[in-house]
Amino acid sequence: MRNLIPAAILGATMLGYQAARPQAPNAAPKTDSAASVAASTYEHLATAIIEIEATEDELVKSILIGYHTAAQNHLRAAARDAQGRVGHLEAAAAEVANIANEGDKRIQAIRQRLAKAGHTHNTDAETKEDYMFVTNKEKKGLVALAARISRAGANASAADLEGLGAELSRLFESAIAPE
Amino acid sequence: MNRLRSLYAVLLAAGFPSCSSPSAPETPPAPAASTPAAPAVPATPPDPHFVEVAEAAGLKTVLYCGGPDKDHILESVGSGAAFVDYDGDGRLDVYLVNAWALDEEPSRVRLKGRNALYRNRGDGTFEDVTARAGVSDESWGCGVSAADYDNDGKVDLYVTNFGPNRLYRNRGDGTFEQVAEKAGVADPGWGAGSAFFDADGDGDLDLYVANYIDTNMDEVLSARRTILWREKVKVLAGPFGLRGGRDRFYRNNGDGTFRDATDEAGMTDTAESYGLGVLASDLDDDGDVDVYVANDSNPNFLYRNNGDGTFTEVGSWSGAGLNGEGVAQAGMGVDAGDVDGDGLEDVFVTNFAQDTATLYHNEGGLLFNDVSGAQGLKAVTYEALKWGCSFLDVDHDADVDLVVVNGHIYPQVDQVPELHESYRQRPFFFRNDKGRLTDVSKRAGPGMQRAVSARGLAVGDYDDDGDLDLLVTAIDSPPLLLRNDTPRKGHWLKLRLLNRHGSPAVGARAVLKGAGKSQTRELRSGSTYQSQSALELHFGLGAATAVETLEVRWPGGRKSFVRDLKVDRTVTLHEPEAGATASGRAPTPETPSR
């Protein structure tokens, strides 16, 4: 995202410049040409900003899908691999916690940097409630599920693990569904 | 106050390969020179009684922290303190960490506060030996932890600063040498809590340092209050929206130096969380030390020791990273203690105002459950802004009580009565009533009714009368020394656990059994908030007139096993030498404590 912002600004400026250029040669400049160019440039920049925000939505959604896929893979591996079951359960729990927190620790650091720049990842900037996809209520459910997965233990049956996977799918689909 | 002169029974405890060798000879403790009169044990516990005696004791250093308006978050976090026996005379001395005073208009540095070391005279008073000891420093100080990092038998001090941290190596002659740069631990960030612990079982102490926020003095001096607190009053900004500092883990090279091993140990603070409190404790009781970090406004960390000197962060799913509502709280201080007597250390974390403190019940295997609601802590702790905290047995009834010190960070709350908040706040005292923490703060004596903007808390028996006293730091104020004058009820025992180098065996774990009760304590560096409690273990024993068994698990795994210890005294145990574990060793004669 950090690299996209200057590129977007540059792109918008170039587009604005291109839009303004045909007016420049030969003809006498209109009195409002500078303001027109500025408005045009700003419009392009606004378009870029809006599209970048949409891109942020899609990026975060794809990150969450990645966590979900990893969690399900670990749950399936836990069902197959009795010896490594506890490790897979812990890994699955960690991925579910990442969904709940809408990002791992690296993403949390990025969110703090965005907040410093005035861009909050939270739906409610004032109260810092609700992430972009995961609401506080959904987060609580996911955290509780992560705890249950981590406690499932070495003796968890395939049916237990399948049930946990199904519950994860349900919570996840609910979280990323359009509000 | 009934001042009892405690006695040492200096024991070289018999060590056994494990407790599965019951037929191996046991080494009884040396007889005590005298046994203090056993107090009667009342049916109902007496109320605790604390009296504030700092000024009379000579602790007068004002601990500064910025200007009166607290425009920047640096001016709000305060500084810590330590109870530490720096000169090895058996008495607890006091070390105070100090910051700077700022003017508001114009914003500038008014005064650079100096840290202070007070030597315990043994008569309830202290003398300022700062200049002689060479530990003053005029950095903007934050926190302190203590341990013998170089295994020379003397306790050293690590001081976190806003700016390069300091490591004071104890020369053993009453003076210290500042060696942080030479030792490789002069972390330049904004340090907060820290703790020494043996991460890799190699016999020397490693170091974890929590860093809070990445900022600089220009930002501090130019800060303006921009946040509207509860829609009433403009207050300082942060930490949300500020860049977090990255915590550091330093591995001890064994030659008096450390290296930054944060990444190789798996402790990279990728979240750049706002680290404050650090607890180094064997929370899963598997023989190695885990690390818990209380983060402000971020999930707390729980680093599980993998047994090979590396760690895995399991806070996100352990149940101890968030509260029971799945919310990351604003963690400040942290301590661990076995509230319900199940042998596992529960974790207590202090949090911001308008939020509850959190007690995580340890369910084994590094799984935790938030039991704050069930314990009734939510309603009591919600309004206060909570900092230093410690489990301790104040009333000697053989369980751990809980002390929490409080104080707001926004002085402006005093201007708006309808907020029902105050900058200066009273501490909490929770008495353990059969595993239930009961708020008896208002009945805990005049010392506990003193309202200050408190931050640090250290616990120790400075007057050597067998009960635990409190050292509290407060913003722009001298410290408080809360002497424990609780009517004597149960018996007690203090343990000084010394490793083979003669220094406090940080990481040692003691399990004591008496009168049908089992109690566990762990010797820790760090914990609470930016402060260091005494490096000795204290047990209340209730009606038990003897300790039936005492098992000590030393760092590295050796065990000592002692039977039929006498009570109401201080006992020193030495870690057995390698190879001396099978047959044990005869005890040395008892020596008086002074």
Chain B partners of A147 at a C-beta cutoff of 8 Å? 317, 319, 367
Which tens digits make up the pLDDT trace of B450-486?
A: 999 999 999 999 999 999 999 999 999 999 999 999 9
Range with top average pLDDT, A23-27, B94-98, B514-518:
B94-98
CB-based contact, B218 to chain A, within 8 Å? no
Higher-scoring residue by pLDDT: B487, A179: B487
- Test A109 with B313 for CB contact under 8 angstroms: no
CB-based contact, A56 to chain B, within 8 Å? no
Q: Is the ipTM here above 0.90?
A: no
How far is residue B448's CA from residue B54's CA, in Å, rounded to a whole number? 13
Higher-scoring residue by pLDDT: B587, A160: A160
Q: What does the block give as tokens for B61?
A: 């250093």
Chain A residue closest in CA terms to B320: A147
> Which three-class secondary structure state does DSSP give residue B310?
coil
Q: Which residues contact B348 (CB under 8 A, 6 or more apart)?
A: B334, B335, B336, B337, B357, B358, B359, B360, B389, B391, B402
pLDDT of residue A178: 80
Residues B392, B427: contact at Cβ < 8 Å?
A: no
Residue B35 reports pLDDT greater than 70:
no
How far is residue B360's CA from residue B345's CA, in Å, rounded to a whole number? 9
CB-based contact, B275 to chain A, within 8 Å? no
Q: What does the block give as tokens for A19?
A: 């839009």
Query: What is the crossing angle of helices A85-100 and A33-80, to 10°?
Result: 160
> Which three-class secondary structure state does DSSP give residue A90?
helix
How far is residue B130's CA from residue B96's CA, in Å, rounded to a whole number? 10
Helix (H) / strand (E) containing A9: helix A4-20
Residue B164 identity (one-letter amino acid):
P
- In the structure, what pLDDT confidence band is assigned to residue A128 with cuts at 50, 70 and 90? low
- Test B314 with A90 for CB contact under 8 angstroms: yes
CB-based contact, A21 to chain B, within 8 Å? no
pLDDT of residue A123: 65
- Test A97 with B272 for CB contact under 8 angstroms: no
**Which of B228, B304, B316 should one mutate to test binding to chain A, selecting the residue with the greatest count of A CBs within 10 A?**
B316
How far is residue A120's CA from residue A127's CA, in Å, rounded to a whole number? 11
- In the structure, what pLDDT confidence band is assigned to residue B579 with cuts at 50, 70 and 90? low
- Test B322 with A90 for CB contact under 8 angstroms: no
- Test A93 with B271 for CB contact under 8 angstroms: no
Query: What is the crossing angle of helices A158-176 and A85-100, to 10°?
Result: 10
Q: How many CA atoms lie within 13 A of B53 on its CB side?
A: 18
Q: Which residue from B467, B468, B400, B402 is spatially nearest to B434, judged by alpha carbons?
A: B400
* Interface size between A and B, measured as CB pairs under 8 A: 66
Chain A partners of B242 at a C-beta cutoff of 8 Å? 112, 116
CB-based contact, A78 to chain B, within 8 Å? no
Share of chain B above pLDDT 90, in %: 87
User: What's chain B's average pLDDT?
Assistant: 91
- In the structure, what pLDDT confidence band is assigned to residue B28 with cuts at 50, 70 and 90? very low
How far is residue A168's CA from residue A146's CA, in Å, rounded to a whole number? 9
pLDDT of residue B376: 92
Chain B residue closest in CA terms to A105: B271
Q: Which residues contact B326 (CB under 8 A, 6 or more apart)?
A: A100, A136, A139, A140, A142, A143, A144
User: Beta strand B8-11 with B569-574: parallel, antiparallel or unpaired?
Assistant: parallel
pLDDT of residue B38: 46
> Which three-class secondary structure state does DSSP give residue A91?
helix
CA diameter of chain A: 84
Min mean pLDDT across B13-27, B116-130, B287-301, B412-426 is at: B13-27
Q: Which residues contact B473 (CB under 8 A, 6 or more apart)?
A: B63, B78, B79, B80, B81, B96, B97, B388, B454, B455, B456, B457, B479, B531
Cβ atoms < 10 Å from Cβ of B71: 24
How far is residue A96's CA from residue B323's CA, in Å, rounded to a whole number? 16
Q: Which of B242, B243, B270 faces A106 most closely, judged by CB atoms?
A: B270
Which tens digits make up the pLDDT trace of B388-413?
A: 999 999 999 999 999 999 999 999 99
pLDDT of residue A29: 58
- Test A149 with B317 for CB contact under 8 angstroms: yes
Q: DSSP state, B425?
A: B
Residues B74, B140: contact at Cβ < 8 Å?
A: yes
Residue with tokens 């709280």: B329
Residues B512, B539: contact at Cβ < 8 Å?
A: yes
How far is residue A119's CA from residue A113's CA, in Å, rounded to a whole number? 9
How far is residue A169's CA from residue A65's CA, in Å, rounded to a whole number? 11
Residue A99 φ then ψ, to 5°: -60, -45
CB-based contact, A113 to chain B, within 8 Å? yes
Residue B284 φ then ψ, to 5°: -105, 10
Chain A partners of B367 at a C-beta cutoff of 8 Å? 147, 150-151
CB-based contact, B213 to chain A, within 8 Å? no
- In the structure, what pLDDT confidence band is assigned to residue A127 with cuts at 50, 70 and 90? low
Residues B32, B566: contact at Cβ < 8 Å?
A: yes
pLDDT of residue A131: 84
Residue B11 reports pLDDT greater than 70:
no
- Test B272 with A136 for CB contact under 8 angstroms: no
The string of DSSP letters for B369-418 reads: EE-TTTTTHHHHHSSS-EEEEEEE-SS-SSS-EEEEEEB-S-GGGGG-GG
Secondary structure string (H, E, C) spanning B138-202? CCEEEEEEEECCCCCCCCEEEEEEEEEEEEEEECCCCCEEECHHHHCCCCCCEEEEEEEECCCCC
Q: CA of A108 to nearest chain B CA: how many angstroms apart? A: 5
CB-based contact, B263 to chain A, within 8 Å? no
How far is residue B175's CA from residue B194's CA, in Å, rounded to a whole number? 22
- In the structure, what pLDDT confidence band is assigned to residue B46 with cuts at 50, 70 and 90? confident
Q: Which of B317, B319, B325 faces A94 most closely, judged by CB atoms?
A: B317
How far is residue B411's CA from residue B423's CA, in Å, rounded to a whole number? 5
pLDDT of residue A120: 75
Q: b/e per residue, B357-384, with b = 16+ CB within 10 A?
A: bbbbbbeebbbbebbbeebebbebbebb
- In the structure, what pLDDT confidence band is assigned to residue B348 with cuts at 50, 70 and 90? very high
How far is residue B590's CA from residue B392's CA, in Å, rounded to a whole number? 27
- In the structure, what pLDDT confidence band is assigned to residue A22 with cuts at 50, 70 and 90? low
Q: Which residue from A103, A16, A28, A110 is spatially nearest to A67, judged by alpha carbons?
A: A103
How far is residue B98's CA from residue B162's CA, in Å, rounded to a whole number? 11
